[in-house]
Amino acid sequence: MTTQSISPLLSEKDRAKRDARSDTAFYDTPRFVTHADDGFLTRLTDTYSSVLSPDDRIFDAMSSWISHLPDDISYDHIIGHGLNAAELSENEILDEWFCQDLNQNQVLPLQDNSVDAVTCALSVQYLQYPGRVFDEFARVLDDDGVVIVSFSNRMFPTKAVRAWQAGSMDERHGLVDQYCTAGGLTTTQRISCRPEADPFRATVARNQ
């Protein structure tokens, strides 16, 4: 565990949410929708296609009924994680999946060095203890494994942490970079564009 993430990366004030109910309760009802426009999702899939390899073992963190991975690439093994079993069970690309509230328990039920890539799309804004979560991302990654974190300006406003809501898009991107650094990951690529109405942001970081 890195020194930076022994204590929470966000202060108590910064990680506060307007809706203090557990995330498990909030996500109890499945939402079979996409959380960004087609331009964003196409750019996300293209990013995955350019960074990931067909033989990768992938952990899709904070996932849903769709993972936005390329349809024409067959990856070695894909593990999904989320908060709603009905959504995850509909995600046909997943080889296995589990439910866990990362704001209550940050320890992943995965072995050290067991995956080659971690993807986290449109969900990082809800993490209250990101340093601990990104420590876990680094732990489960194999040598030179990659983390791809993507986000836009959309969110469930009552469930996003205060630090995220208060920041500009550039400041939010900076937060993601800090989360990666807290986990001992090295940022190798930052993407910022606007394919359609929704801005596309992504950080690619390596376990080096």
What is the three-class DSSP state of 137?
helix
- How does strand 96-99 pair with strand 77-82? parallel
How far is residue 6's CA from residue 22's CA, in Å, rounded to a whole number?
23
Q: Residue 11 corresponds to which tokens in the numbers above?
A: 């202060």
- Of the chain, the percentage scoring pLDDT greater than 90 comes to 84
Residue 188 amino acid letter: T
Per residue in 96-122, pLDDT (tens digit) is 999 999 999 999 999 999 999 999 999
Place of tokens 């067909």: 54
List beta partners, residue 186: 206
Domains of the chain: 3-206 (3.40.50.150)
Per residue in 169-198, pLDDT (tens digit) is 999 999 999 999 999 999 999 999 999 999
Q: Full-prediction pTM beyond 0.85?
A: yes
Return the pLDDT at 33.
Answer: 61
What is the three-class DSSP state of 174?
helix
What is the three-class DSSP state of 149?
strand
* CB proximity list for 166: less than 8 A, separation 6 or greater: none
pLDDT at 6 over 60: no
With bands split at pLDDT 50, 70 and 90, how would you rate the model's confidence at 24?
confident
Return the pLDDT at 37.
Answer: 95
| Bigger pLDDT: 139 vs 5 | 139
Residue 35 amino acid letter: H
> Residues 118-138: what's their mean pLDDT?
97
Q: Residue 66 corresponds to which tokens in the numbers above?
A: 């769709």
Residue 64 phi/psi, 5° resolution? -155, -150
DSSP at 48: H
**C-beta neighbour count of 41 within 10 angstroms:** 22
Residue 179 amino acid letter: Y
How far is residue 179's CA from residue 87's CA, in Å, rounded to a whole number?
27
What is the three-class DSSP state of 196?
coil
pLDDT at 32 over 70: no
How far is residue 19's CA from residue 170's CA, in Å, rounded to a whole number?
25
- How does strand 57-61 pair with strand 186-193? unpaired
**C-beta neighbour count of 183 within 10 angstroms:** 27
